[in-house]
Amino acid sequence: MSLLHLAIISPFLLAIVVPLAYKLFRQIHTGWFILPLPILLFSYFISYLSITSNQQSVTKSFSWIPSLGIEFTAKVDGLGLLFSLLITGIGALVVLYSIYYLDKNKEQLNTFYVYLLLFMGAMLGVVLSDNLLVLYTFWEFTSFSSFLLIGYWYHREKSRYGAQKSMIITVFGGLSMLAGIILLYLMTGTFSITEIIAQSDEIFTNPLFVPALLCILLGAFTKSAQFPFHIWLPDAMEAPTPVSAYLHSATMVKAGIYLVARMSPVFAEHSLWLWLVAGFGIVTLFWGSFSAVKQTDLKAILAFSTVSQLGMIMSLLGIGAAALHFETVEDSYFTVATTAAVFHLINHATFKGSLFMVAGIVDHETGTRDIRKLGGLMNFMPITFTLAIIGTFAMAGLPPFNGFLSKEMFFTGMVRVLDMDIFNLDTWGFLFPVLAWVASVFTFIYSMVLVFKTFTGKFQPEKLEKKPHEAPIGMLISPIVLASLVIIIGFFPNIIANTLISPAQAAIMPPAEGYMYDAHIYFWHGFTPELFMTLGVITLGILLFATLPKWRKVYDMFPEKLALNRFYDGMLEVSQRASFNLTRLYMNGFIRTYLVYIFTFFIVALAATLFIKDAFKFDTSNVAPIHYAEVLLALGIAAASITILFVKSRMTSIILLGAVGYTVSLFFVIFRAPDLALTQLVIETISVSLFLLAFYHLPKLRHEERIRFKMTNALISVGVGAVVTMIALSAHSNKMFDSIAQYYVENTYKEAAGKNMVNVILVDFRGFDTMFEITVLGIAALGIFAMIKLRLEGGKKNENK
Amino acid sequence: MKTNDVILQTATKVVLFIIVLFSIHIFFAGHYTPGGGFVGGLLTSGAIVLLLLAFDMKTVSKILPVNYIHMIAIGLLFSIGTGAGALLFNVPFLTHAFGHVELPVLGDTSLHTATLFDLGVFLVVVGVTMTIIQTIGEDE
């Protein structure tokens, strides 16, 4: 186990001691014990920058389940490192923020930090694992810890609802991803991503390739809240704000993005990949930004905004895949989309994290997140306002913030789709820039709503629970750091270009031997179409924002019934009711019904086997001659059995049953089995008297009736009889070996000193069976004793007997 | 009105011993002729049932102060013990041994450990039958 592995599992290790620290040091906020770890990890991962900047990677392996070929292989390359830095860096900031956000006297801090650390470790595991199964393990860990974090305030009904919803959707996707992983294993024989990438050309034509692609994509889409699986993200906003900032903006929702980026070298050659990734991404971008405008809750706006930004990154990754179809990856004409994806991923993490923290501050200091109640906070919270301005303007894509740069590159990528002549992109490809542009307009609108409805306008103190004031400095540090990053990256984008972006790109689109990506981000690239698009976005955006109250009614046109949430809730309810009804349909509680199932199954299974295997055979060659006494007895027994069905009184049935039993013992006599005959005689007597006893205690019926005729029962009983008869006949006719009885005949006296062969077999040759049969008898007697003596209702008086 | 069962009771006193003797015969003869522990046990309990019919439960338990549940346990111990005894002689479980032994009164007798095993069966069967009949009979 290397230091790298230790770094990945260190959050898990720390999580073990968190409750201890919480119990022992109640005066100190538990968060302070957590804070050093992400900082330490962040600095540790920084040390890898020198390696990955040269677009190299480090692999460390550790045997986990060697017999199944599962190794915990950790690989640090550009993409993994970028994510690790985001996870640890923003993790540290979120922990710091949460120290001031969560009250140490009112909240269960131990559980909170355990879940958070669990999540951090799992996320590091996801992005640094080279083994797909290990990746999947950590992947489910993120779903699971996210479930716990969303349901942190478990006494609230909406928290539980949101947690359950996110769990169902992400685990559904996770399982589908597992299926994809298994399919990949079937094709390549390895779980290692590196080795699968090496074989990607060979598996391209494999029939399992497309199913694997679809399964993996389903996992990525559900995790990254792509349309139509985005519905869990807005409901996950019930989580504490530090959680939303960390999980639902910067890290977990990007796990799907990571997966798509990571698997790009395997699947990107396929047109389906491009269309699905880019298509779903662009639709999500549009739908998320469109829906965000109608929200009134700060965090709901941010949630939909996250959805739309994730869609944007996803569509960029999809378009970037097209570059692989052209001979030279080096030509940066189409790879710009991938560069933009990585760049925007970083940008989004910075500004969205800070915006969530701002929303948390507003909530914390005013007691509400509803923008209809907020307004005019600018004078009370100048620092928060500044931070909000920076975050939202970056989100809207305004200069000089980093969002502007990545949005320009996004437009560039989308416009260049028009030049592609593959996969029918020349016909439908024009939709990409159009949708991207429209979505950007909406992005601009909700960004403005976010900042101006909250901080400007009329101050409404009567609607607020608390008197608003500026947040404590500890709460402001984290968003300040993130906002400064927004500005620094905005002004000097090239400091991360060759340290973070190019290495990540090299991992997403492995270049030819010896080639190094060289990303350059320019502020000004002349009067290009994308510049005019941005200008158009700003103009139209301002126009629409100003007239928002007038066209807001557009949203009312979408009927509530068509909402995806309604569909999800309905589906849950319908499936629940359907399974309940289905179960009630066949589990009706009557033993007679279950017997019908059992016997029907018996008939169908056995008759079908007889028929399919063509096993029915009737052979009379080794049949013994029939004696007239046997015929008489058989007629007698048949007469008695059939009469039982038609008699009225129970007493008659019991006596007839006794007659059947005695006839059987007569059969034993004429088939020369004296021991059996003796035993059968005595046992039949005892059982008939027990029957009579039971009969004696039965409640009096007004008039006894004969069994009512039911067609199904008749059919089933005839069927069972026929099947058993057929099997008996064919078993007799298919005898293949001689009996082993000869051995007993020869050895009964010689070996066991007995002459009654039956008894010798019972006590000597096969005495083991007898031993347990008498045990069965003993248990039956004890059972009867217990059943009769132990009546717990009036059992007090029996207790001491 | 209390009926006088003098004929039944007197007949029982005579028949009982015949049945018991017959059951013992069947038990011991089991290795050579039809019979054995199972039928023998059933017949013995039949004799006790006859006693129960002729007299009442209290009298019978006074005549035969036996706890039938203990009897089941002892029977099982006999059977399992016979089987486990084989292990002491380094042979598989339930390997029986037999031989001719010169006994003081009976003279040359063939003895077989299978009889001990069968005795276990006998005791269990008597115990089980009597437990069942007694419990049901005592039940109100």
Q: Determine contact: B25 vs chain A, CB below 8 A.
A: no
B131/A785 Cβ within 8 A: yes
The per-residue pLDDT for range A569-604, each reduced to its tens digit, is 888 899 999 999 999 988 888 998 999 999 999 999
Question: What value, to the nearest 5°, has the Cα angle with vertex B73 and ends B68 and B79?
Answer: 125
CB A73 within 8 A of CB A192: yes
At A33 the pLDDT is 87
* pLDDT band, residue A360 (cuts 50/70/90): confident
The minimal CB distance from B80 to the residues A758, A771, A789 is found for A771
Interface of B with A in 67-126 (CB under 8 A): 68-69, 72-73, 75-76, 79-80, 83, 93-94, 96, 98, 110, 112, 114, 117-118, 120-121, 124-125
* pLDDT band, residue A77 (cuts 50/70/90): confident
Check whether B40 has a pLDDT greater than 50. Answer: yes
The pLDDT of A251-255, averaged and rounded, is: 87
The pLDDT of A10-24, averaged and rounded, is: 88
CA dihedral B92, B98, B99, B104 (to 10 degrees): 120
The pLDDT of A455-463, averaged and rounded, is: 74
CA dihedral B18, B23, B28, B29 (to 10 degrees): 90
At A172 the pLDDT is 92
- Between A491 and A725, the higher pLDDT residue: A725
Check whether A554 has a pLDDT greater than 80. Answer: no
Check whether A327 has a pLDDT greater than 60. Answer: no
Check whether A637 has a pLDDT greater than 60. Answer: yes
Closest by Cα among A225, A474, A471, A235 to A359:
A471
- Between A381 and A12, the higher pLDDT residue: A12
B39/A678 Cβ within 8 A: yes
Its pTM surpasses 0.90: no
Determine the residue among B50, B53, B71, B96 to mutate to test chain A binding: the one whose Cβ has the most chain A Cβ atoms within 10 Å.
Answer: B96
The per-residue pLDDT for range A330-347, each reduced to its tens digit, is 555 677 788 888 888 888
Check whether A460 has a pLDDT greater than 80. Answer: no
Supply the DSSP symbol for A249. Answer: I
The shortest C-alpha distance from A774 to chain B (Å) reads 6
- Between B140 and A189, the higher pLDDT residue: A189
The pLDDT of A212-222, averaged and rounded, is: 91
At A558 the pLDDT is 66
At A476 the pLDDT is 86
B36/A756 Cβ within 8 A: yes
B94/A771 Cβ within 8 A: yes
The pLDDT of B67-86, averaged and rounded, is: 90
Check whether A650 has a pLDDT greater than 90. Answer: no
Percent of chain A with pLDDT over 70: 93
Q: Determine contact: A694 vs chain B, CB below 8 A.
A: no
A788/B31 Cβ within 8 A: no
At A2 the pLDDT is 82
The shortest C-alpha distance from B98 to chain A (Å) reads 7
* pLDDT band, residue A801 (cuts 50/70/90): very low
The per-residue pLDDT for range A477-523, each reduced to its tens digit, is 888 888 888 888 888 887 787 788 888 888 887 776 666 666 666 65
Closest by Cα among A275, A301, A278 to A363:
A301
At A425 the pLDDT is 61
* Nearest chain A residue (CA) to B40: A679
Percent of chain A with pLDDT over 90: 19
- What are the φ/ψ torsions at residue A706 (nearest 5 degrees)? -80, 165
| Nearest-angstrom CA–CA distance, A266 and A270 | 9
Q: Determine contact: B128 vs chain A, CB below 8 A.
A: yes
The per-residue pLDDT for range A120-132, each reduced to its tens digit, is 999 999 999 888 8
The pLDDT of B82-93, averaged and rounded, is: 86
* pLDDT band, residue A563 (cuts 50/70/90): confident
At B125 the pLDDT is 93
| Nearest-angstrom CA–CA distance, A126 and A149 | 18
Helices and strands in chain B, H and E counts? 5, 2
The per-residue pLDDT for range A135-161, each reduced to its tens digit, is 999 999 999 999 999 989 888 888 999
The pLDDT of A258-265, averaged and rounded, is: 88
* pLDDT band, residue A191 (cuts 50/70/90): confident
**Does the model's ipTM exceed the 0.95 cut?**
no
The per-residue pLDDT for range A270-312, each reduced to its tens digit, is 888 888 888 888 888 888 888 888 888 888 888 889 999 999 8
CA distances from B61 to B9, B19, B48 (A): 16, 19, 10
* pLDDT band, residue A173 (cuts 50/70/90): very high
